[in-house]
Amino acid sequence: QSALTQPASVSGSPGQSITISCTGTSSDVGGYNYVSWYQQYPGKAPKLMIYDVSNRPSGISNRFSGSKSGNTASLTISGLQAEDEADYYCNSYTSISTSVFGTGTKVTVL
């Protein structure tokens, strides 16, 4: 069971939009709409940002949005702000009744 593939880093200027991809297989991302995204600051616990591909928990800014096409899910951050600089991880349910994280993406605000 391999980790989902994410770009190691993505950067953007304040106000811009960035998109982080999360590529899996038909046994995880492509097979189920149970993809979630987590934000993690250094030294802190992860925080849920998106669940079930495109839903935002209460209190999460609408600048964060999620989508999926085939075996690839995506997280888009619009109107990039300095506070968005963090690590982001995707996660998916798998066909062997477990869960798997992505490799993680470091977002830098230029």
Partner 1 sequence: EVQLVQSGGEVKKPGESLKISCKGSRYSFSGYWIAWVRQMPGKGLEWMGIIYPDDSDTRYSPSFQGQVTISADKSTSTAYLQWSSLKASDTAIYYCTRHRAGYHKGTYYFYYMDVWGKGTAVTVSS
Distance CA 110, CA 52 (A): 30
- Smallest distance, Å, CB 68 to partner 1? 14
Closest to 109 in 3D by CA, of 86, 82, 89: 82
Contact segment (CB under 8 A) with partner 1 among 15-23, 61-69, 72-80, 95-103 equals 95-103
Query: Whole-number minimum distance, CB 15 to partner 1, in Å?
Result: 28
25, 61, 76, 103: which one contacts partner 1 (CB under 8 A)? 103
- What residue type is 15 in one-letter code? G
Rounded to the nearest whole angstrom, what is the least distance from the CB of residue 48 to partner 1 in the complex? 5
Taking CB under 8 A as the rule, does residue 96 contact partner 1?
yes
E-assigned strand segments in the chain: 9-12, 18-23, 35-40, 47-50, 64-69, 72-77, 86-93, 99-101, 105-109
Q: Which is nearer to partner 1, 18 or 90 (CB)?
A: 90
